[in-house]
A = this chain, B = another copy of it.
Amino acid sequence: MNETYVHGYNRRENVRLHDQAGALIDLLHADTEYPAGSRVLEAGCGVGAQTVTLARGSPDAQFTSVDVSGDSIAEARRRVDRAGLTNVQFRHADIFALPFSAESFDHVFVCFVLEHLSRPVEALAILKRLLKPGGTITVIEGDHGSAYFHPDSLAAREAVQCQVELQRQAGGNALVGRQLYPLLVESGFEAIRVSPRMVYVDSSRPDLVDGFTRQTFTAMIEGIRENAIASGLIEPERFDAGIRDLHRTTHADGVFCYSFFKGVGEKGRGAQPRGEQPCSGGDAR
């Protein structure tokens, strides 16, 4: 996974840390449950924020969680141990060079990973090879272009756009959420269903105002300040005005909206292409 990260692992970490009420975890993960005995690959587990939720939600499934960062794997292992979970094993590996045989897994799970990849279809095709026929892939991604708010602010939108542009320059795609359907089609999956998971925040939900609008989304944008300015994408005053306006949306009359997308696809049971090539996906809908 030779990709440059714009914001490290902070965002998914923050989603977990600040989601005191579990509302976001439910929104993203409540409908993911794997049968007893199934083998599940979590590709790109990071520091294990999703791993704990996954392994707890499917206590009788066996998870293999991989990440390109050894430090992250170490932290994920500590976290899973602290949670008392025994159904996860970790492997330190690149998503483009995974040490598994074809058709090794019943299911694959990918969360907040594709946004960082310049070749997401290639990654999905590799993961598809590792799936048994009839197995599923579940992909969850955010989409920074889905953020809008009240009061509206051009400066705030420009600050968010800096994040989109920096991620693009790093080879990633901050708008990947809306693209899950075509990406899964192009990778050859079948029976694809994508559903948006919109986080709607007004002041009747102070947990989300603080945990999502302030500590997750706005904090993420604040985190690219130096990089955005150094890259010449925006003037410091303009960026800071955008951040002030994002904070303004956390007032009593403010509203903040953001959407994640969750896609599930199946690996067909039909004839597989010969040799080691990923499926061409010709029979996908």
Contacts and interface: CB of A to CB of B under 8 A. Distances in A.
Interface string A112-151: 0000000000000000000000000000000101101110
B285 A178 contact: no
Nearest to A181: B202
Contacts of A252: 182, 185
B204 A257 contact: no
A175 B182 CA distance: 29
Nearest to A194: B202
A146 B145 contact: no
Nearest to A263: B202
Nearest to A261: B200
B253 A178 contact: no
A175 B157 CA distance: 15
Copies of the polypeptide in the assembly: 2
Interface string A153-173: 000000000000000000000
Nearest to A253: B182
A200 B204 contact: no
Contacts of A193: 204
A181 B285 CA distance: 39
Interface in A199-251: 200, 202-204
Contact of A148 (B146, B203, B254, B285): B146
Interface string A248-273: 00001111010100000000000000
Contact of A257 (B146, B203, B254): B146
A192 B259 CA distance: 22
A195 interface: yes
Nearest to A255: B178
30 contacts: A143-B148, A145-B152, A146-B257, A148-B178, A149-B178, A150-B175, A150-B178, A150-B179, A150-B182, A179-B255, A181-B202, A181-B203, A181-B204, A181-B255, A182-B252, A182-B255, A185-B252, A186-B253, A192-B204, A194-B200, A194-B202, A194-B204, A196-B198, A196-B200, A196-B257, A198-B198, A198-B259, A203-B285, A204-B285, A257-B259
Interface of A: 143, 145-146, 148-150, 152, 175, 178-179, 181-182, 185-186, 192-196, 198, 200, 202-204, 252-255, 257, 259, 285
